[in-house]
Structure 1
Amino acid sequence: MELNVSTASQGGHAVVTATGELDLYTAPRLQTALAGLLREQQVDRIVVDLSGVEFCDSTGMNVLLAAMKRLKEQGGMLELAAPRPAVKRILQVTGLDTVFSVTDAVPAMDAG
């Protein structure tokens, strides 16, 4: 299964949309997208839209954790949006639902 990652940013906010399976083989794709945003340092809030992610393993979680930690160090925040039940369960089982800011809805980005 592939993982597709797209990014939209506006002002200091960015939405990273991931679709597919987030695992050992596909996690570098998400990591690259997040690293690019963190390098620019013009973003103080990143929302990762997980509504299209059907599976996420520990590698995927580690990518998200590392990005959250780096963003916090830069004074920003990372949120996870709309995780599917399988991903939500992983967050709950690992206790990461208390570490990440998790929202049920994906914030709308103004087109323009």
Structure 2
Amino acid sequence: MGGPVLECAGAIDPDTVPVLRNAVQDALAARPAPPMLVIDLGAVTFCDSIGLNTLLRARTDAARQGTALHLTRPAHIVARMLEITGTDQVFTIDQDVPASRTAPPARPGGSPHGLVRPPPGLTGRACAAASRPAGRTGEPPAHR
């Protein structure tokens, strides 16, 4: 089972949520609908209630079209937030990006808003869906 991977880094907050939301919508707009959408949270340094709400909305939107949403590699701060809110029982959480989706590490750098820079061809997005078989689509968080 494959599908796009969104790799997020830095803060998921009111400044970056629109970018994440758009990337999720773009990934789910693919036809045929992807069987799975992975959101890699391994490099996320902060996620507030707006970020959590965006992830919950992504889960609902994905389920509505038959796409399984997986959160992967949640950073400690994100894993703790999911646990405290009980949403760790709602999401499918994997400790690794699915093996069929791994790719070489990204180059150093980052976007000014903390979400990852997209792969070539998706310039202009800070968090991107890559429908090709690659697990890492971005870069480490930028310093604010």
Q: Give the alignment's TM-score, normalised by structure 1.
A: 0.83
Larger Rg: 2
**Rounded Cα–Cα distance in structure 1 between residues aligned with 2:13 and 2:96:** 23
What is the aligned partner in structure 2 of residue 97 from structure 1? 88
Bigger relative contact order, structure 1 or 2 (CA pairs below 8 A, ≥6 apart): 2
* % same residue: 38
Normalised by the length of structure 2, the TM-score is: 0.66
Whether 2:53 is the aligned partner of 1:62: answer yes
The alignment yields a C-alpha RMSD, in angstroms, of 1.7
Q: 1:25 aligns with which of 15, 20, 45?
A: 15
Taking a change above 3 Å as real, the CA distance of residues 99 and 110 of structure 1, as seen in their structure-2 partners, is closer
Task: Supply the AA of the counterpart residue of 1:68.
Answer: R
Higher helix share: 1
Runs of 4+, deviation exceeding 4 Å: none
Change (3 A) 1:110 1:25: closer
- CA–CA separation in structure 1 for the residues paired with 2:90 and 2:17: 20
Structure 1 residue 110 displacement after superposition = 6.1
Distance of 1:20 and 1:66 partners within structure 2: 20
Partners of 2:52 and 2:35 in 1: CA distance: 20
Distance 1:73 1:48 in 2: 17
How many aligned positions are there?
102
Contact 1:44–1:71, Cα closer than 8 Å, also in 2: no
Question: What letter corresponds to residue 25 of structure 1 in structure 2?
Answer: D
Aligned to 1:77: 68
For structure 1, list consecutive stretches of 5 or more residues without a partner in the other structure. 1-10
* More strand, by proportion: 1
> 1:110 & 1:17 partners in 2: Cα distance?
12
**Match status 1:86 vs 2:82:** no
Equivalent in the alignment of 1:3: none
| Aligned counterpart, 1:53 | 44
Q: Which amino acid aligns with 1:63?
A: T
